[in-house]
Structure 1
C-alpha cells in the first residue's frame, strides 16, 4: 500500500506540473515550493492548514497558544496557494511555507529543519510521511476540529495505510461523538469531543466586525441579500430573484475573483444599477443609488455579513457548500444548494429551520419568499441561528487546556 501511495504522490505532482503551463493556481503550487527556503528553528509549534478556510478554522487555537507562549516560534504551512498567497505575511507566524511534497526525504528534511515541539493539523490533511516522521521523532501531533464519516477511506477494507496514519496522531479533538465512535471501530481511542473551533472564530468576528463605510453607504438603511462564495450555477439561479424584490439590495461575493469570472457575473446583472466594489469609491454620491454590488477582492466576506438580512452560501451545486457559520454568527438565515450533508453545522441549521437547502430555481424562489417577505419567520430563523452559534462556542479553550496539560 505504501508503494501505491508513493506512486500516487508522484503522479499527483506530475499532473500539477503539467497543469502549471496553463493554470495560474497550479503554477503557484509548483513555483512556490521550488523557490522557498526553509529556515532553521528550534522548538516551534507547527500549524498546517489545507487552505484559507482551514486557517480560519484553526486560527483561534493558534492565537490562544501564541498568547500563552509568546516566546515560542510559530511555523505555518499550507497545501494550497489560495491559503498561502493570502496569509503568507500573517503576523501570527514567524514563518509561512508551502507544505513540501509528501515524500520520506522531504518530510525528514522539513521536520529536521524546523524542529517542532508540537504539530497541529486542522480538520483534514493526512500525509503519511510527515505523520510518520513526527511519530518517529516523538513529536506530539494533534488534529483539531476533526470530523469523520463512515464513507472515508480510513474505514474501508482497503484503507490500511490511512488507518496507520490515524494511529500516529497523539490526540484528536473532534466535532462530535459519532467521530469518536468511528475512530474506536478502527482501534483509535485517543479522541475527545471538543467541538468546532470555527464557532469561536466567527463569534469573535461577529462581536468585533470590521467597519466598511462604503458598504454602509451602499446599504443606505435598506434590506440586503448577500450571496457569499458563489459559483456560476449559484449565480445563474440568484440573478432571477433580483427583479422579484425591487426594495432589496444585493451583494455578490463570488468564490473566485479572476477578471473573467467577474466579467461573466457582471454580464448576468442589470448594468444600470450594478457596480464592482473596486470602482464604487469613484461614484461618490451615487453609491447609495446602486442596487447591486459585486465584490471583486478577497478578505471582505466575513465582515460583509453584518450589513445583510439574508444570505445565500455558494458551493452547494459543486463539491459542497462553503462557510455558513460566518453568516450565522450575525444572525442571518441561510439558503444553500443540495450538497451539504457532510457539514454538521449545515445539517444542524436545516434541522433548526434556520437554513433552507434548494435544488432548483423554483425552490430558491420559495425560500427567498419565505425569508424576505415573512418578517416574522425571518426574525425566528435569525434568533435560532445566532443562538446556535453562541451555544457552540468554547472548543478553543478545551483544546488549548488539553494540549498544555497532557495526560
Structure 2
C-alpha cells in the first residue's frame, strides 16, 4: 500500500516539478540543454545500437550520474568482461559523463538514461531486457528501479554512501526511501558507517554488505599503467626532489605559490610541477607572472627546451596520474577552494599527500589523514613548515609516504567482492532456468 502511495506521489508531484526545473534550467545552462537535445528519439538510438549484438548474451546495465562515478564502475566492467560474454550497456544522466565515455572500449553501448517517467522506464526495459542492473553510488531513478524490480531484474547499488545527517532520514521522505531501497538485490557500501545508515531504512541485513570503494582498485590499476609512460626525460628529474601540485585552482595557488617561492630561496634541488585544474591561457600566464622575478618557469609543452627551471607549469590535460608517479611529495588542489580533488591518485605512489581544509566532500581524505599518510594545512605558515620538514627529513618523508601507499593498497579488493556477488546471482538464475 505504501509503495503504491509513494509511486503516485513521485509521479504526480515530484516528476512534474523536476521536469519544470529542468526545462527552466535549459534556458540558462548549456549542459542541461545538451542533455535534453540528446535525449530526443533516445529509444530509436538505443534500438539501433543494440541491434549489432547477439541478444542471447546477457546484457548488464551500468548507470552513473557522471564521469567521476563511472570511473568507479570501470574495474567492475573490466572484470566481468574477462569472465564471460556480456553486453555492457552504460548510461549517464550528465552530458560530460556521456561524451567522455564514448571511446571507452569495454562498454558496448553508451547512452543517456531517459527521463524517469513510468512510460520511459518501461520502454527502456523492453528495449534492453537487462539481466542485471548496477547503479553507482547514488543516482537512483525510482521508475527505472521499480520497473526493473517488477520484471525480476536484480539491482545492485554499488559504492553506496550515506551521510549521518542526510535529508533522506526525515519523517516525510523516510518511508519513500525505505520502499525504494527495499527493491535493491544488494546495497554494497563503502564503509561501516554507510552500512549503519542504510540499516536505518529497515533494509534486509542479508542484502547489505560493506565492501569498500572500487576507486582504490581503479586508481591502483591505472597507476600501474601510468608508471610505464615516459612523460619527462630522466635528465630533467635526476637529482631533484619533486613536488607535484595537482588540480590546483587560484585559491590553492594563493597559498601555495608564496610557499614555493620561499622554499626555492633555501633549496636548489627542488622541482615543482604545477598542474592547474583548468589550464586556460589566462591561468597559465597568471602562474608565470606570479613567479616572474623570483625564478624561471617553463611550460610542460616546452620541455624540449628545458634549462634547469625549478617550476614546470603543465599546460595540457589528462596526464596528472602519470605526473604523480614522478613526485616525492604531492599537493592536491581544490582543498582551498571548495572541494578537494582525488587524493588517491597521489597516495597510490607511496608519497606524503598535502591538502587544504576544504575536504568534507571526500570520505577517504579523513581516513588518509588518520593513517598518517596525508596532511591538512590551513594557511601558508602551516604549509611552509610541513614542506620544510618533508624536504629536509628524508626518513620522515619515506615513513609518511609508505603510510599513504599502504592506505591505498590495503583497501584494494572491492571489485572482486562485487563481481562475485553478481555472478552468484546470475549463475543461480541460470540454474533455475535450466531446471525449469
State TM-score, norm by structure 2. Answer: 0.83
- Describe the superposition over 1:97-137 as per-residue Cα deviations: whole angstroms up to 9, x where unpaired: 23333333332333322222111122221222222222222
Specify whether residues 327 and 138 from structure 1 end up closer, same or farther in structure 2 by C-alpha distance, changes over 3 A only: same
Could you tell me which residue of structure 1 aligns to residue 121 of structure 2? 107
CA root-mean-square deviation: 2.5
What is aligned with 2:26? 17
- Aligned partner of 2:224 in structure 1 is 207
Residue by residue over 1:190-216, the C-alpha shift from the partner in whole angstroms, topping out at 9 and shown as x without a partner, is 210111111112222333325443424
Structure of greater Rg: 2
Alignment of 1:223-234 (within 5 A): 223-234=241-252
Contact 2:252–2:337 (8 Å) recurs in 1 = no
More deviation, 376-385/250-259: 250-259
1:181 deviates by 1.8
Q: 1:50-106: per-residue Cα shift (whole Å, max 9, x none)?
A: 22222222211110011112x211111222333322221111111112333333333
The residue that corresponds to 1:383 in the other structure is 402
Q: 1:185 maps to which residue?
A: 200
Task: Give the corresponding residue for 1:29.
Answer: 35
Deviations 1:159-197 (A, max 9, x none): 233343222221011112222222112101221011111
Aligned counterparts of 2:290 and 2:21: Cα–Cα separation in 1? 36
Does the residue aligned with 1:77 lie in a helix, a strand or coil?
A: strand
SS in structure 2 at match of 1:87? coil
Tell me the CA shift for residue 295 of structure 1: 2.9
The alignment status of 1:275 with 2:298, answered yes or no, reads yes
1:357 has 2:376 as partner:
yes
Please give the secondary structure, in 2, of the residue aligned with 1:234: helix
Deviation for aligned residue 1:269: 4.3
Preserved CA contact (<8 Å) 2:61 2:90: yes
Residue correspondence of structure 1 range 8-407 to structure 2 within 5 A: 8-20=17-29, 23=30, 25-34=31-40, 37-39=45-47, 41=50, 42=55, 43-69=58-84, 71-160=85-174, 161-189=176-204, 190-217=207-234, 218-246=236-264, 247-270=269-292, 273-277=296-300, 279-280=301-302, 284=304, 286-287=305-306, 289-406=308-425
Does the aligned pair in 2 maintain the 1:216–1:307 contact within 8 Å? no
Q: Which runs of 5+ in 1 are unaligned?
A: none
Q: Which stretch of structure 1 is more off in the superposition, 191-200 or 337-346?
A: 337-346
- Count of residue pairs brought into register by the alignment: 399
TM-score when scaled to structure 1?
Answer: 0.89
Structure 1 position 257, deviation (Å): 4.0
Distance 2:13 2:396 in 1: 54
Specify the SS of the correspondent of 2:39. helix
